[in-house]
Structure 1
Amino acid sequence: MIKINTKKFALAFAVAITITTSCKKDFQQINTNPNGVVAALPENLLQPALYEVVTRGNNRAHRLTHELMQVHVTLSDGDDLQRYLIRPSESDYIWTNWYLQLKNFRDMYSRAVSVNQTQYQGIALICDVWVSSMITDAFGDVPYFDASKGQEGVLQPKFDKQQDIYLDMFKKLEQANTLLAATTSATVTVDQLPLDPLFGTNSGATVANSTGLWRKFGNSLYLRLLMRASAKAEANAAVKMQEIVSDATKYPIMTSNAESAIVKYTGSTVPLINPFYNVRDFDFTTGNSLTEFFINTLNNWNDPRRAKWATQVAGGTYVGVPSGFPRGQVPEKQSAYPTTLKVEPLVGNIMNYAELQFILAEAALKGYITGDPATYYNNGVNNAVTMWGYTVPTGYLTNPALAWNPAGTADAKLEQIMIQKYYTFFFTDLQSWFEFRRTGHPVLPKGSGLQNGGLMPSRLYYPVYVQSLNPANYTAAVAQQGADNLNTKVWWNK
């Protein structure tokens, strides 16, 4: 890898791919070979780019999502995230890092086309959609079609409508499914397999062991995004969801926990070191506590996952603290994250099988697909527990606190689905916040110290430097989408 130290060039390149080096003046391009090779092979781009996206997502899950969504609160008067106040500077980290990796995934696709590697074309398209979806779901209208085109002279990319972005992401997932369907019988050498941090092995298996699972991930991601856009008629989500679940040959999806898309961190060992391993205990666990909402729900379920997710307090119990507390009323520390999470492999979750089951439960509940929502729900509940290595306790599914209630209202059933889904997003980028904005579930208690009119933020601010470096397109985006503030809703949420 090389470092580019020329500040002027770095700034121009930042505009071109809609990123900046806000934390340090130097930046690294993982798609540049230090020995002077013009372009890296596509398989050499996958692992570092994928790892970076998940790592940055973990960071934001801990700092932003878990505060907004009442997983934990920082025990300080000076941190207002739990009070629904997000500063514009919070946007820089996400925009900078995710656009950089989007550039790498698009380079990966181009290189795969040039060397006729169809499996890496499909994988690159899935990764492109995954990263693009997180960017647009966080901000709304963003550069997409012109993003990452600095080398082509596009230094001030226009902002595209989220509707157009979504429809193009659906096209890319269709293309990826077709490409991967044509390559599952190919073979791959043993030295290539470790480069796939999601599904590769060291066993010398065929690409069917890896590419077939990527195909299932891509189609499962397709269902996630169709559900997110399902309130918009132009997405045609219900028809497509039924088509996918009705044809497992054309559209295979995840069928077990073993097929979940998770970067299995290797604790303190490179190259897949857990990103929290070197974080100070104070920053990761000591300076915060898990919330009453998060802990009390698990207590009501007698959920075995508490042992991995929370520390015990005096008496061997799990106790949370209130979220949204007023200034000057910082609560005493209670249960917090155990330090063992700093080496936990499953923290690298992208999308797991239980989440997919809850997507299907909601789709069945709303009549988008045929099937029994209770069956999907129960399967999701069981697999959400077993994914973390636990046996489902006896009587777990008959516990009135979580048992499916066939007599409940549609909204009550949706709450059951979404609160279970909420826990599948433990340390998963911004997903639980996205889903809360879409559905209003799970219903979160409101502390008396909330700001922003007590409203959960609907998006992030555009980074301040984008306003100064791309002013015309920024102004056009605001005129198109609405005011650049926390409460402007994005397309799928309007």
Structure 2
Amino acid sequence: MLLFNLIEMNKRKNIVLVFLAVILLGACTKDFKELNTDPNSSEKALPEYLMARAIVETVKNNMTRSRGLTNELMQVTVNTLVETDRIFRYDIANSVSEAPWNGWYLQLTNFKDMYDSADKGYVADPKKANAFKGISLIMQTWVYSMITDTYGDIPYFNSNKAGVDGTYTPAFDTQKSIYLDFFDKLDSANVMLAAASNIPVTSDPVYKGNIANWRKFGNSLYLRLLLRASQKEETSAFVLDKIQKILDSEKSNYPIISNNEESAVLRWTGVAPYASPFVTLTDAQWKQQKAGKVFVDSLLFKEDPCIDLWLVKSNGEYEGIESGYTIGQTPEGRSTMNPILKSSPLMGNILNYGEVQLMQAEIGLRELIPTNASSVKNYYDSGVLARVTWWGKSSVEASTYLSNQRVVWNNNLSYEAKLEKVIYQKFLATIFTDIQNWAEYRRTGYPVMPKGNGLMNDKIMPTRLYYPSSVQAANPQNYANAIAKQGPDLLTTLIWWENHTF
């Protein structure tokens, strides 16, 4: 916590920002090196002592980003506390970029140390070494994917290497090259985990040591990232071939999440260190964010059974406020997010079964692999049922919702109308999950959202965040090279897999 307090107190001082960037892009802090030391054996801790902490800290970081960034951009919530620097208004300061960048890169060092220490720690047990190495590759890919999907080109191949080879100012790599390496990493992880044994329950807060489920998560993450790259002509041949293998010709070699119980989620228990970061928020802090009108209205219109789990009524009814309202015309506060979410075990979602089913519905709808209309409907229905029951509603409530004429699958609709149905349900399946809804919107333009009169940034949904000031100060030449290749360091510059703005 000392490092983060230092950042907050000195974020406007370049000397501290330079120091921070060098640390995060290079190596662990002194405190992390001490934590990672195993006094009884090797210089660095066994991977089982690194894994749980890295996962917990990453998910906490993700939840903060979801609440403060994604929910505001996607009109789930509207923070009416002040009139300036409002993310829901696309008025995003450079300082917003610091915390996610720092938090993600910090934990990457731990995930990489997991891989490096696995063989050393388990010389006599290669199956256990394979387990930690495979999980490390999956988690590195997961974290790097959130960074590159937030900023675009980033330090990747030579990041977090100051303690290894003295690289303090790594070059920025193109998102295309990063994604191609993601696919290599996930293929390697799949092979490693196929030849791995289970790991200690205490080291694994997600799957309690079950390696079969880690393998399914890795391949499900593979599908998520393949879809991101699926509309790029230069990678389409590989993407289509790999999707076909995962879902059809080699599916026995690429198991994926197949039910709600196999979902990748850090289920908060309320007992330290597995306590949600939101439990420390006061009621006043929690209620600063009001429910967005388009979010509330869509739940009401479709009679979504999860509405009472996510929202609380105001004056006896669910009522949201307009996002992007005109400056100086702040609406009266209305519905807020349900305070039970502060401690809900499901808020630690990473990737769930509902998303996996809806990915397959999209793949079938877009005919990325041979399929038929009934298969698309089945995947859609399964994804919706999975999402509703995952949140604790009964299968009867889920089936009733799915039979609603505003929800039920209709093959007679246009392609765009059907795609919007799928992506809207994926939006709900990934609600409160790091940056996923924002990324899906930038990829597809769905769900459609109204543009308030008070929006800034030319009323264009931000396509990325600015690079942090600390990076600009500490790594100026590589920063300059990055924007020369990718485009200006603006909120409207497209990253590689984006084709247009919305």
Q: Which TM-score applies when normalising by structure 1?
A: 0.91
Please state whether the residue corresponding to 2:385 is helix, strand or coil: helix
Aligned to 1:373: 376
Is residue 2:254 matched to residue 1:251? yes
Q: Which amino acid in 2 is paired with 1:290?
A: A
Aligned to 1:32: 36
Aligned to 2:11: none
Alpha-carbon deviation of 1:405? 1.9
CA distance in 2, matches of 1:2, 1:58: 20
Please list the CA deviations of residues 333-363 of structure 1 after superposition, one character each: whole Å capped at 9, or x if unmatched: 1111122111110000000000111111111
Alpha-carbon deviation of 1:446? 1.1
Aligned to 1:196: 204
Aligned to 1:298: 299
Q: Which amino acid in 2 is paired with 1:101?
A: Q
Instruction: Summarize the Cα distance change of 1:6–1:140 in structure 2 as closer, same or farther, 3 Å threshold.
Output: closer
- Structure with a larger share of its residues in helix: 2
Out of 48, 57, 60, the position equivalent to 1:52 is 57
Runs of 5+ unmatched residues, structure 2: 8-14
Alpha-carbon deviation of 1:281? 2.0
Q: Which amino acid in 2 is paired with 1:254?
A: I
Out of 384, 397, 416, the position equivalent to 2:421 is 416
Alpha-carbon deviation of 1:45? 0.7
- Is residue 4–residue 26 contact of structure 1 (8 Å, CA) maintained in 2? no
Please list the CA deviations of residues 244-288 of structure 1 after superposition, one character each: whole Å capped at 9, or x if unmatched: 001331000010000000000013x1121011011222222x212
Out of 71, 85, 90, the position equivalent to 1:84 is 90
Greater mean deviation of Cα atoms: 1-10 or 154-163: 1-10
- Is residue 140–residue 491 contact of structure 1 (8 Å, CA) maintained in 2? yes
- Is residue 260–residue 386 contact of structure 2 (8 Å, CA) maintained in 1? yes
- Is residue 108–residue 121 contact of structure 1 (8 Å, CA) maintained in 2? yes
Alpha-carbon deviation of 1:242? 1.1
Alpha-carbon deviation of 1:217? 0.1
Is residue 2:112 matched to residue 1:106? yes
Alpha-carbon deviation of 1:404? 1.2
Instruction: Summarize the Cα distance change of 1:481–1:31 in structure 2 as closer, same or farther, 3 Å threshold.
Output: farther
- Is residue 257–residue 383 contact of structure 1 (8 Å, CA) maintained in 2? yes
Aligned to 1:204: none
Aligned to 1:387: 390
Q: Which amino acid in 1 is paired with 2:102?
A: T
Instruction: Summarize the Cα distance change of 1:264–1:437 in structure 2 as closer, same or farther, 3 Å threshold.
Output: same
Alpha-carbon deviation of 1:421? 0.7
Alpha-carbon deviation of 1:2? 11
- Is residue 38–residue 44 contact of structure 2 (8 Å, CA) maintained in 1? no
Alpha-carbon deviation of 1:13? 7.0
- Equivalences for residues 290-439 of structure 1 within 5 A: 290-315=291-316, 317-371=317-371, 372-392=375-395, 393=397, 395-439=400-444
Q: Which amino acid in 2 is paired with 1:167?
A: L
Out of 280, 283, 289, the position equivalent to 1:281 is 283
CA distance in 2, matches of 1:455, 1:362: 25
- Is residue 30–residue 49 contact of structure 1 (8 Å, CA) maintained in 2? no
Please list the CA deviations of residues 448-473 of structure 1 after superposition, one character each: whole Å capped at 9, or x if unmatched: 11111110000010011111110110
Instruction: Summarize the Cα distance change of 1:30–1:270 in structure 2 as closer, same or farther, 3 Å threshold.
Output: farther
Instruction: Summarize the Cα distance change of 1:78–1:28 in structure 2 as closer, same or farther, 3 Å threshold.
Output: farther
Please list the CA deviations of residues 84-106 of structure 1 after superposition, one character each: whole Å capped at 9, or x if unmatched: 12111111001111001111101
Instruction: Summarize the Cα distance change of 1:444–1:180 in structure 2 as closer, same or farther, 3 Å threshold.
Output: same
- Is residue 260–residue 352 contact of structure 2 (8 Å, CA) maintained in 1? yes
Greater mean deviation of Cα atoms: 229-238 or 449-458: 229-238
Q: Which amino acid in 2 is paired with 1:430?
A: I
Q: Which amino acid in 2 is paired with 1:306?
A: I
- Is residue 30–residue 45 contact of structure 1 (8 Å, CA) maintained in 2? no
Out of 173, 193, 198, the position equivalent to 2:186 is 173
Alpha-carbon deviation of 1:6? 12
CA distance in 2, matches of 1:255, 1:370: 21
The alignment-based identity, stated in percent, is: 42
Please list the CA deviations of residues 424-461 of structure 1 after superposition, one character each: whole Å capped at 9, or x if unmatched: 12211111001101111110111111111110000010
Instruction: Summarize the Cα distance change of 1:173–1:463 in structure 2 as closer, same or farther, 3 Å threshold.
Output: same
CA distance in 2, matches of 1:492, 1:6: 35
Instruction: Summarize the Cα distance change of 1:29–1:360 in structure 2 as closer, same or farther, 3 Å threshold.
Output: farther
Aligned to 2:171: 158
Is residue 2:71 matched to residue 1:70? no
CA distance in 2, matches of 1:258, 1:67: 30
Instruction: Summarize the Cα distance change of 1:159–1:347 in structure 2 as closer, same or farther, 3 Å threshold.
Output: same
Runs of 5+ unmatched residues, structure 1: 201-206
Instruction: Summarize the Cα distance change of 1:85–1:4 in structure 2 as closer, same or farther, 3 Å threshold.
Output: closer
Q: Which amino acid in 1 is paired with 2:307?
A: R
- Equivalences for residues 182-221 of structure 1 within 5 A: 182-183=195-196, 186=197, 188=199, 192-200=200-208, 210-221=210-221
- Is residue 2–residue 29 contact of structure 1 (8 Å, CA) maintained in 2? no
Q: Which TM-score applies when normalising by structure 2?
A: 0.90
- Equivalences for residues 86-165 of structure 1 within 5 A: 86-114=92-120, 115=122, 116=126, 117-151=129-163, 152-165=165-178
Instruction: Summarize the Cα distance change of 1:39–1:108 in structure 2 as closer, same or farther, 3 Å threshold.
Output: same
Instruction: Summarize the Cα distance change of 1:10–1:451 in structure 2 as closer, same or farther, 3 Å threshold.
Output: closer
Please state whether the residue corresponding to 2:315 is helix, strand or coil: coil
Please list the CA deviations of residues 380-429 of structure 1 after superposition, one character each: whole Å capped at 9, or x if unmatched: 01110000110142532221211112111111111001111111122111
- Is residue 256–residue 353 contact of structure 1 (8 Å, CA) maintained in 2? yes
Cα RMSD for the two superposed structures: 2.4
